[in-house]
Amino acid sequence: MSETTAAASEVKNAYAKSASAPRFWRNDALPFIEARSIDDGRKVCYAKHSHETFSIGAVTGGRSVYLNRHAREWIGAGAVVLMNPDDVHACNPVAGERWSYRMLHVDVAWLTKLQHELGFSENHAFRAFSQIMTLDAALFDGVNRLCAILADADASTLRKESAALTFFSDVQQKLNPARLPERDASGQLARAAEFIAENCTRALKLEDVCKAAGLSASHLIRAFKQRYGMTPHAYLINRRIQYSRAQLRRGRLIADVALDAGFADQAHLQRTFKRLVAATPGQYRS
């Protein structure tokens, strides 16, 4: 084999490995946004999970089954998916197809401020989106364009921030978010979720959550799953993963993060992280 052929083979093998690995973009100068992409997600499988961020993504190839709360959609290239904060969702490829996508995760406080500036909300609450999926070509192109600008090492911070503001202003204008029906008028379930989030690194007991919410165990389990799409325990694990992501972004050692987040050990974090994020902690940190 010639040196040229060997080099070409090495590049091809390296691309095959990188194509199946998730790539993340973050920048300390723009802490309100994170991007993720994958070129070959045939082996990428997500368990049902949620984010504390607002998320919007573009499917660039293949087909997948998209679950969002109680809805189930078959989607393909050209689709744009939207996930409100804490909405339980999953998106997994049809077997054998080279599924690819780009995803943006946005800080809710930043997006809420933008909504206020655009006149979509007069109070301090985030106005959620009623749509979970759209085939709007302009939004699809917008997701891809913004991801490309964010990942461009030569683009200035000003250009990246301006592009983000422009795109998310377009999202508001096109989809005109409306407040979803109030799903927890009493506020008790919200208190339960807030208690779990604030104490997610502790070894919580069900009675602790019940006391914080002022609900019986049976009512909490039933109503919490109906409201958030997962049990209090699953919500706790999701919050631990969100905490772990934040610590990994700071460059902390995986073993230290695992213990601080409330996992038994690094292996436990590795398994759970891969199941919910479809990436290893090492991949995410780098």
Q: Write 143-149 long-range contacts (CB < 8 A, 24+).
A: 143/56, 143/57, 143/58, 143/80, 143/102, 143/104, 143/167, 144/58, 144/60, 144/102, 146/35, 146/104, 147/25, 147/35, 147/37, 147/102, 147/104
Whether the pLDDT of residue 32 is over 80: the answer is yes
Residue 141's pLDDT is: 96
Q: How far apart are the first and last CA of the chain?
A: 34
Query: Where along the chain do the CATH 1.10.10.60 domains lie?
Result: 188-285
Residue 18's pLDDT is: 65
Q: Residues 235-249: what's their mean pLDDT?
A: 93
Residue 262's pLDDT is: 92
**Lowest-confidence range among 128-137, 157-166, 182-191?**
182-191
Going by pLDDT thresholds of 50, 70 and 90, the confidence category of residue 47 is: confident
- Compute the distance between CA of residue 183 and CA of residue 228 in angstroms, rounded to an integer: 9
Going by pLDDT thresholds of 50, 70 and 90, the confidence category of residue 122 is: low
Q: CB–CB of 126/85 below 8 Å?
A: yes
Per DSSP, which regions of the chain are E strands?
23-25, 33-38, 54-61, 63-68, 71-76, 80-83, 89-93, 100-106, 133-134
Q: Residues 18-36: what's their mean pLDDT?
A: 86
Query: Where along the chain do the CATH 2.60.120.280 domains lie?
Result: 3-175
Does domain 188-285 match CATH 1.10.10.60?
A: yes
Token pair, residue 223, equals 């109503």
Residue 205's pLDDT is: 83
Task: Express as a percent the part of the chain with pLDDT over 90.
Answer: 39
Q: Residues 51-74: what's their mean pLDDT?
A: 89
Architecture of domain 3-175: Sandwich (2.60)
pLDDT, averaged across the chain? 83
